[in-house]
Structures are given as C-alpha cells and as structure tokens.
C-alpha cells in the first residue's frame, strides 16, 4: 500500500493505471482524466453528497465498475493531511464491514479518492434523509447494520496492527451495500495507536452529538471514544431520533437526555422507532438498548470495549455481569450545543459533517477548528449544569 508520502507526493503519476504489486489489494492509481470521464466531468447530476472533505460523485469506469469519487474541496495542508490519512488507513484495512479503497488520483491541483459505489448510500439518508419516508430499514436490517458496524469497529480496535481509532463514527459514515450490509467509511480523522499507548491527546475533530465527553472537552482520544459514538449511533438506529434534536422554542436536546428516563422506566416500546409500527423483536431491542446505555456512559473506563459490545449484541455477556440499564451521560453545555448545526437541518439529508451550513473554518464537524487545550474541564466549569444523573 502506498504510504502517505507516496500518495501525496507531487510526482507525476497520472499516466497509466498501475495495478498494485501483489494483487491482493484491488486498488489502483487512477488518472484524473479517467475519473473525469467516469463522473461526466464531476457534473452536479452525478453528485451523491457533500461532506467536510469535499463532494462525492457517482461514476462508472470504462470497464463498467460503479464507483464513488470523493473530490477534495480545497488544497489546504489540512485537507491534504486528511487525504493522506484516509488513503494510508484504508490501505491497511480489509474487512467486509469497512469501505475499502478502490484507488486514488493525485493531480497537480486535485486529490481524488475512489471507493466502490454503495447503492443504498448512507445510513443517514435512510434514517433522516431522502429515503426516510420509504422505511426500508425494517428491524432485521437495523440489527444487521448494528452488528456489522460493530464488527467493523472491533476489527479496527482489536485486529488490525497498529490499532485504529476511527474518531468519526456517525450515520453518514455508515454506507449500505445492495443487501443493506453496513460498511464503515471515512477514515480521514482516524488515529493509528502505537503499541502500548492507552490514549492520546489531540485536537478534537468529529461531529457533536456523537463525541464522547472526555474527547469533546479535553481532546482525550482512545478506542472508548468510538465506543461512545457507537452507543449514540445504536440509539439513533433503534429510536430513529437524531443525536441532537431541536425542540420547539429552539432548545436542543441530546438523544441520551431523551432516552435516559425511558430506559430507566423500562419503557422500551416508547423508545423504539415508531416507523417500525411495532414490528421488532422485544428481546433484541432490550439487549441493544442496554448495550447502548453501557456505551454512552460518561466515564470511559466503564464503557465496554468493542469485543464486549459485539458479544453482548449477539446475546452473550462476556463479563458475566448482569446487564445494567444505566446511563451516566453528560449533557453538552449550552455553548457547545449552540455550535451544533445538524439539528437545524430539518430534512437531515445534509450530512452531519459541518458542510451543511456549519462553520467554514472547521469543515469537519463543529469541533474541527477547536483546540482541545482551549477547552476546560467540563465538570469544574459547568458544575451543577452538568447532568450526572445516575440511574440503576
């Protein structure tokens, strides 16, 4: 696999589509001309969506392969870094639930990443976007999406070396193939974790609503941040609600704030997405809600790891503990919630990445431009406003 330096160098690699030696990885270098032709000149009609990185276009290669081409929006050093990280990470991973690399193209003023086209687009488009009205996500498909996404993350956290933290797990980054098999996408924010390192401190990137409190506030990143985001995603899939909702009057409410009292009271029928019209497996729902509740605990050490999450979702509790219906989720404070753009997006189809009217500087979700060091200890700063309710 090409390294970040080789993929982003200025060498002219535009002539010839080089198959990778070894043959096991099926990615190759595309020419910009080839991708231009495949996408009909990156025409608006071919546009699948837009995110922080740039726009994504549908295309068809001359040999008939349907592809999705992500075109870098601006050639800033930050964007180049995202490109390099994405290509570097994608080249290391191979799993049925991770969207692999089909290729890339480095032109004089262009950076393009090529993926397989996923005919059912993103989970976001089915939950809150253009397909939401069609309710193609029945219970069986939702469980398949939950398990597949969890297995993709398990692979990243526990099976690939060095371990990888995704850092941007959210509904728009779960793509769906023709069988609604989920593929975790977008590794532009990913962090490779050196052996023996339990956590790192970094600039905060990602999307509010999915961000673990210790990461949002202090930039402390570990696998557990992905577990938190997965817990939010799980709640979103089960309930059909957005991670942050705007209530009449403009107040914003997180999905955990909404779910907590219902979970505590065991009102599972009130939690489940009404679009399912009662067609769900009650035991599976309870199990999945309990897993979500464990994942979104405020304290990272109390969250399960992805191996445990997968086991629990499959109905087996590896720690042998009694499943707890317990959430200790932290409420984002008002200032952070004011930065949220996703709940303002009524059709939900604009993505959660900060390119749907979000702050331009960030372009990567609301925290993109925020230095972790500038954030303060949320518990000291917001005292009583921090909701630390403990439910057993």
Residue 271 interacting partner from ligand ATP, Mg ion, none (CB closer than 5 to 8 Å by kind): none
State the nearest-atom distance from the C-beta of 50 to ligand ATP, in Å: 6
Number of residue whose CB is nearest ligand ATP: 51
* Residue 107 CA neighbour count, 13 Å, CB half: 14
Residue 148 interacting partner from Mg ion, ligand ATP, none (CB closer than 5 to 8 Å by kind): none
Residue 215 or 268 with smaller CB distance to ligand ATP: 215
State the nearest-atom distance from the C-beta of 302 to Mg ion, in Å: 29
Residue 173 or 298 with smaller CB distance to ligand ATP: 173
State the nearest-atom distance from the C-beta of 187 to ligand ATP, in Å: 10
Residue 150 interacting partner from ligand ATP, Mg ion, none (CB closer than 5 to 8 Å by kind): none
Question: Of 29, 25, 39, 26, whose CA–CA distance to 8 is shortest?
Answer: 29
Binding site for ligand ATP (CB under 6 A): 48-53, 56, 68, 70, 115, 117-118, 121-122, 124-125, 172-173, 175, 185-186, 351, 353, 365
Residue 231 or 353 with smaller CB distance to ligand ATP: 353
Q: Choose, from 36, 168, 186, 340, the residue flagged as catalytic.
A: 168
Residue 206 or 304 with smaller CB distance to ligand ATP: 206
Task: Report how far residue 75's alpha carbon sits from residue 110's, in angstroms, rounded to the nearest whole number.
Answer: 7
Structure tokens at 51: 């995110």
DSSP annotation of 31: P
Kindly list the distances between the CA atom of residue 391 and the CA atoms of 264, 296, 322, 345, in Å, as whole numbers in the listed order: 7, 13, 15, 32
Tell whether 71 is in a known binding site.
yes
DSSP annotation of 155: I
Please, what is the angle between helix 282-295 and helix 306-313, to 10°? 170
State the nearest-atom distance from the C-beta of 353 to Mg ion, in Å: 6
For the question of residue 168 being annotated catalytic, the response is yes
Task: Report how far residue 113's alpha carbon sits from residue 103's, in angstroms, rounded to the nearest whole number.
Answer: 6
Q: What is the DSSP annotation of 313-359?
A: HTT--TT-PPPP----PPPPPHHHHHH--GGG-TTSTT-SSS-SSS-
Binding site for Mg ion (CB under 5 A): 51, 172-173, 186
Task: Report how far residue 236's alpha carbon sits from residue 255's, in angstroms, rounded to the nearest whole number.
Answer: 8
Indicate the annotated binding residues for ATP.
71
Active site residues: 168
């Amino acid at each position: 696999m090409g390294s970040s330096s080789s993929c982003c160098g200025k060498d002219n690699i535009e002539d010839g589509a080089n198959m990778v030696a070894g043959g096991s990885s099926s990615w190759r270098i595309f020419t910009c001309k080839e991708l231009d032709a495949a996408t009909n000149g990156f025409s608006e009609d071919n546009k699948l969506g837009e995110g922080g990185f740039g726009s994504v276009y549908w295309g068809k290669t001359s040999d008939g392969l349907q592809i999705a081409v992500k075109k870098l929006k601006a050639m800033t050093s930050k964007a180049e870094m995202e490109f390099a990280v994405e290509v570097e990470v994608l080249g290391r991973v191979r799993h049925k639930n991770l969207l692999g690399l089909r290729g890339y193209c480095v032109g004089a003023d262009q950076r393009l990443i090529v993926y397989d086209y996923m005919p059912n687009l993103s989970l976001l488009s089915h939950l809150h976007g253009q397909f939401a009205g069609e309710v193609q996500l029945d219970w069986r498909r939702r469980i398949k999406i939950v398990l597949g996404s969890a297995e993709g993350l398990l692979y990243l956290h526990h099976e690939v070396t060095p371990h990888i933290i995704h850092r941007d797990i959210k509904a728009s980054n779960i793509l769906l193939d023709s069988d609604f098999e989920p593929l975790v996408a977008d590794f532009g924010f990913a962090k490779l974790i050196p052996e023996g390192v339990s956590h790192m401190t970094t600039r905060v990137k990602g999307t509010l609503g999915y961000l673990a409190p210790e990461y949002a506030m202090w930039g402390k990143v570990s696998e557990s941040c992905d577990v938190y985001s997965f817990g939010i995603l799980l709640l979103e899939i089960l309930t059909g609600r957005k991670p942050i909702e705007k209530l009449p009057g403009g107040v914003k409410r997180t999905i955990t704030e909404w779910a907590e009292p219902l979970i505590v009271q065991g009102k599972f029928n009130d939690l489940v997405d009404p679009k399912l019209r009662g067609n769900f497996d009650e035991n599976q729902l309870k199990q999945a809600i309990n897993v979500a509740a464990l994942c979104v605990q405020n304290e990272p050490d109390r969250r399960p790891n992805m191996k445990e999450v997968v086991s629990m979702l499959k109905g087996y509790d590896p720690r042998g503990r009694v499943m707890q219906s317990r959430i200790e989720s932290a409420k984002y404070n008002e200032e952070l919630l004011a930065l949220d753009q996703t709940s303002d997006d009524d059709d939900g189809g604009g993505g959660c990445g900060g390119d749907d009217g979000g702050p331009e500087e960030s372009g990567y979700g609301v925290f993109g431009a925020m230095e972790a060091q500038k954030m303060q200890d949320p518990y000291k700063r917001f005292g009583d406003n921090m909701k630390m309710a403990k439910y057993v």
